[in-house]
């Protein structure tokens, strides 16, 4: 986001129509086919044709195949490397293709290796395109020592004043926590662009020195939305919500990130009321999954279950797809407010959209039905769960017991042991509550004995209150 768009590699030279140079219509035909390839499979077919025609030795053909093979997102860099290795005299363009290819395929270490190999090649030197790629590889690996060595090569080859290279250096040093080096590069820049300013501000923010970031922000001649968002995020991270809000209110143009940063800051600070007010002010089209997730989380933590369900309903109206976290919180709100109808609607949504029913979501659904008095339905959901954790078992034991299903609750406990799930303090609280609620005094004493003498669990106040 904060680096300049990496420079595009120049295309290898187009084939001319001079027959004395190529002496082959087939070569020109194959080169045209290469431009149409959309997959590695298609590329290998053209590659094979070049070999059969005896044309692959041509440097232009080799370079074109090399460039094409490195661009496919799901391509095989081993294949690309094998093509490169066929070139007895790879030029700067070929090296750049390999470095960029490894970088794009998340093989930064190999990208750096190719750079070192290139530097050792006396025939070709790195250029202004090489350095942003290899510096980004160093940045991804947080390889500060390698980055410093590359910086030395930047100076050696005379690219210290190149804007792309300078921005890449700022990003590298900021990522590696050497903000002092980043500032040195920035301060030596003659004409920093907006990316340069944003990169140094982000680096300072990430280091927690927000006041220094603010000083640079105030000197910036022209700010982008990214600039404002970066500094606001910095204030939020260190808990300076008043300063963040002042900046936020000064913004002429706000995007989803701007609103979400402020809302997230208020939620994390426990100022949910302020978050709700901002949420209500958000323009159409700016509320996304992150917005709803933060608001529902904040309201749930403050037990504002009515607001949780209202926000969930708005989310559905706006056709924003909820994730498992939101569904669990919505079901929990239904449980606490005993709103069966909305809980059933959520189950319909889960079934209709084939949402993966993991242990957490399954437990929330079981608990919702049980709290709403639909114990048979709760047991049915539990029975159909593929994934169950200790919380799932505890929930069904407790809820069966308090609704008078003592035999079923104790049977579930037996099934739990057979499933090799060791009970915990909550399990025994559910068992003791069941026995107390249903008049099973002897069973209660037996489970109390099991708790301390068999499972080595120390009884707590709530256990002792029931059977101490």
10 Å CB burial of residue 375 (0-12, 13-18, 19+) is buried
> Does 10 score more than 70 pLDDT?
no
Count of CB atoms situated within 10 Å of the CB of 324: 15
How far is CA 370 from each of CA 83, 258, 324, 336, 406, rounded to the nearest angstrom? 64, 41, 20, 11, 14
pLDDT, greater one: 62 or 140: 140
Contacts of 5 by beta carbon, 8 Å cutoff, 6+ apart? none
pTM listed for this prediction: 0.79
> What is the per-residue pLDDT for 441?
87
> Does 2 score more than 70 pLDDT?
no
Count of CB atoms situated within 10 Å of the CB of 323: 11
DSSP character at residue 405? -
10 Å CB burial of residue 300 (0-12, 13-18, 19+) is buried
What does the buried/exposed string (b/e) look like for 435-451 if buried means 16 or more CB atoms within 10 Å of the residue's CB?
bbbbebeebbeebbeeb
**How is 169-225 classified by DSSP, letter by letter?**
HHHHHHHTT-HHHHHHHHHT-SS--HHHHHHHHHHHHHTT-HHHHHHHHHH-SS--H
What phi-psi label fits residue 177: left (phi over 0), alpha (psi between -120 and 50 degrees) or beta? left
Predicted confidence band of residue 3 (pLDDT cuts 50, 70, 90):
very low
Sign of torsion over alpha carbons 18, 19, 21, 24: positive
Q: Say how far apart CA 219 and CA 423 lie, in whole Å.
A: 62
Overall size of the chain counted in residues: 468
Across residues 269-274, what is the average pLDDT? 95
> What is the per-residue pLDDT for 256?
96
For residue range 219-231, list pLDDT tens digits in order: 999 999 999 999 9
Q: Say how far apart CA 435 and CA 257 lie, in whole Å.
A: 52
| Intra-chain end-to-end CA distance of the chain, in Å | 61
DSSP 3-state of 13: coil
> What is the per-residue pLDDT for 19?
44
> What is the per-residue pLDDT for 24?
66
Sign of torsion over alpha carbons 421, 423, 424, 430: positive
Q: Say how far apart CA 101 and CA 96 lie, in whole Å.
A: 8
For residue range 315-348, list pLDDT tens digits in order: 999 999 999 999 999 999 999 999 999 999 999 9
> Does 299 score more than 90 pLDDT?
yes
């Amino acid at each position: 986001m904060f680096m300049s768009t990496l420079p595009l590699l120049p295309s290898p030279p187009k084939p001319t129509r001079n027959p004395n140079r190529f002496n082959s219509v087939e070569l020109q035909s194959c080169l045209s086919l290469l431009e149409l390839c959309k997959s590695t499979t298609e590329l290998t077919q053209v590659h094979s044709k070049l070999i059969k025609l005896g044309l692959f030795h041509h440097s232009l053909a080799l370079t074109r195949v090399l460039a094409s093979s490195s661009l496919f997102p799901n391509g095989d860099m081993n294949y690309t490397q094998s093509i490169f290795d066929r070139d007895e005299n790879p030029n700067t363009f070929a090296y750049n293709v390999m470095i960029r290819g490894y970088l794009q395929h998340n093989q930064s270490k190999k990208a750096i290796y190719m750079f070192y190999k290139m530097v050792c090649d006396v025939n070709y030197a790195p250029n202004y395109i090489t350095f942003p790629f290899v510096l980004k590889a160093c940045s991804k690996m947080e390889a500060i020592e390698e980055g410093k060595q590359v910086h030395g090569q930047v100076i050696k080859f005379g690219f210290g004043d190149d804007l792309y290279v300078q921005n890449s250096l700022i990003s590298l040093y900021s990522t590696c926590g050497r903000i002092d080096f980043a500032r040195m590069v920035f301060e030596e820049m003659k004409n920093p662009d907006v990316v340069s300013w944003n990169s140094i501000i982000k680096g300072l923010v990430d280091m927690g020195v927000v006041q220094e970031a603010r000083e640079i922000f105030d000197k910036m001649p022209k700010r982008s939305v990214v600039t404002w968002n970066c500094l606001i995020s910095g204030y939020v991270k260190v808990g300076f919500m008043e300063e963040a809000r002042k900046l936020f209110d000064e913004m002429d143009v706000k995007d989803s990130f701007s609103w979400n940063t402020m809302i997230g800051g208020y939620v994390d600070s426990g100022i949910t009321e302020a978050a709700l007010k901002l949420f209500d002010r958000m323009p159409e089209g700016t509320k996304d999954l992150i917005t709803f997730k933060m608001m529902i989380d904040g309201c749930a933590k403050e037990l504002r279950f009515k607001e949780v369900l209202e926000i969930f309903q708005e989310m559905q109206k706006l056709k924003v797809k909820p994730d498992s976290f939101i569904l669990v919180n919505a079901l929990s709100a239904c449980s606490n407010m005993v709103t069966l109808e909305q809980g059933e609607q959520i189950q319909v949504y889960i079934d209709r959209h084939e949402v993966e029913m993991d242990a957490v979501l399954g437990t929330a659904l079981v608990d919702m039905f049980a709290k709403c008095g639909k114990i048979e339905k709760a047991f049915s959901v539990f029975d159909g769960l593929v994934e169950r954790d200790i919380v799932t078992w505890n929930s069904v034991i407790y809820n069966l017991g308090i609704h008078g299903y003592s035999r079923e609750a104790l049977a579930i406990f037996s099934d739990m042991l057979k499933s090799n799930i060791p009970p915990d303090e909550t399990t025994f609280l559910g068992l003791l509550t069941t026995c107390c609620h249903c008049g099973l005094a002897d069973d209660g004493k037996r489970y109390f004995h099991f708790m301390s003498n068999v499972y080595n669990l120390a009884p707590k106040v709530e256990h002792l209150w029931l059977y101490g």
